[in-house]
Amino acid sequence: MIPYGRQSISEDDIQAVVDVLRSDFLTQGPIVPKFEKKVCDYTTAKYAIAVNSGTSALHLACLALGLTKGDWFWTTPVSFVASANCGLYCGAQVDFVDIDPLTWNMSTEKLKEKLVQAKHEDRLPKVLVAVHFCGLPCDMEEIYVLSQEYGFRIIEDACHAIGGRYQDEPVGNCRYSDITVFSFHPVKTITTGEGGMAITNDKKLAEKMELLRSHGITRNPNLMTHVPDGPWYYQQIDLGFNYRMTDIQAALGNSQMYRLDDFVSKRHKIAERYRKMLADLPLHLPHSSTSKYSGFHLYVVRLLSEKVTGTHREIFDALRGKGIGVNSHYIPIHTQPFYQKMGFRCGDFPQAESYYAETISLPMYPDLTKDMQEKVVDALRELL
């Protein structure tokens, strides 16, 4: 089976991990800050907090922004459930903004309309999570302008988008957001096995996330209620978690950072080949824009249903039957039973739902060969 995504591990990556295993620190050592610095340098952001998953990074980001019970939290319905769950962890009420049928990102027009209405009803969001779906950046400048007008904070869920660019600047520079979050799960662009990171230019937000990453414990005398009892002393000044990344993971991430630009340019080559080879088929292909350089975490195509004879399910099953590990990203979050119990209904976000009925994620990862890609295209061509 050709998978839809997979990691690429080099001998250097392996050696970097082995070196940590032979060193003094498996965790809380020097490699985590080294990895954080590397990501800061790459994104040009000031602060980075490495954690044990993208989900943890989203949770810390929401907490740092003060999201709590009684607040509203908005995101897109077409994302991994973690993009919405992080708001629920904080006790906030979650709502969604439907997607744009062309870009598949949160629709900026719908966001505008929803904000006007929410202002009227006095239920404006405190935090908005903008997901750069498949790696394509959202309209961050427009969203930022709206955030100034309506007074909400912005988290970029860039779990798909490390290595991407917006207005010719790196995703993660937080020019138009408070915090950006990355995931380093093996299907993502670079990996640490499991892992994630929150990036910000705001010192206060960074300090808060750093504190909460490790139980709310500090060793900084300036933050303590009294002079330290001795050199062993620490204080717990908030309720945090153990969301730490290990040095083993950070070593892999650090080594993968050297390969990031190569990974993304390979993904673009693969996307370009798909675009040419699939151009005459009844498919809606990924959107592109001159101001946005996608991270191309995923290569999603959408069936033009009225021009296709088989059903989405039949085509999906037939591709799997031919050894092509296609997938579906994502089942709209509001249709999940857990969210339905909260009162969401099918029909609430029609663009997300019709997208879901037609979507297929094709194999996309740096080591996908031309031969494998031709096999994917041939299978699709035969079926369509």
Enumerate binding residues for ligand PLP (CB under 6 A): 53-55, 79-80, 82-83, 131, 157, 159-160, 183, 185, 196
Nearer to ligand PLP, 83 or 361 (CB): 83
Nearer to ligand PLP, 160 or 302 (CB): 160
CB of 378 to ligand PLP, least distance (A): 29
Residue with tokens 């988290």: 155
CB of 243 to ligand PLP, least distance (A): 11
What is the bridge-based pairing of β-strands 127-131 and 72-75? Answer: parallel
CB of 236 to ligand PLP, least distance (A): 25
Q: How is 100-169 classified by DSSP, letter by letter?
A: PTTT-SBPHHHHHHHHHHHHHTT---SEEEEE-GGGPPP-HHHHHHHHHHHT-EEEEE-TTTTT-EETTE
CA distances from 150 to 15, 147, 153, 326 (A): 50, 5, 9, 40
Residue/partner pairs of 373-379 with CB below 8 Å, 24 or more apart:
373/270, 373/273, 373/274, 373/277, 374/277, 375/2, 375/322, 375/323, 375/324, 376/2, 376/324, 377/274, 377/277, 377/278, 379/318, 379/319, 379/322, 379/324
Q: Say how far apart CA 141 and CA 48 lie, in whole Å.
A: 22
CB of 329 to ligand PLP, least distance (A): 8
Nearer to ligand PLP, 183 or 246 (CB): 183
CB of 84 to ligand PLP, least distance (A): 9
CB of 144 to ligand PLP, least distance (A): 20
Nearer to ligand PLP, 165 or 188 (CB): 188
Nearer to ligand PLP, 131 or 205 (CB): 131
Nearer to ligand PLP, 8 or 79 (CB): 79
Question: Which residue minimizes CB distance to ligand PLP?
Answer: 54
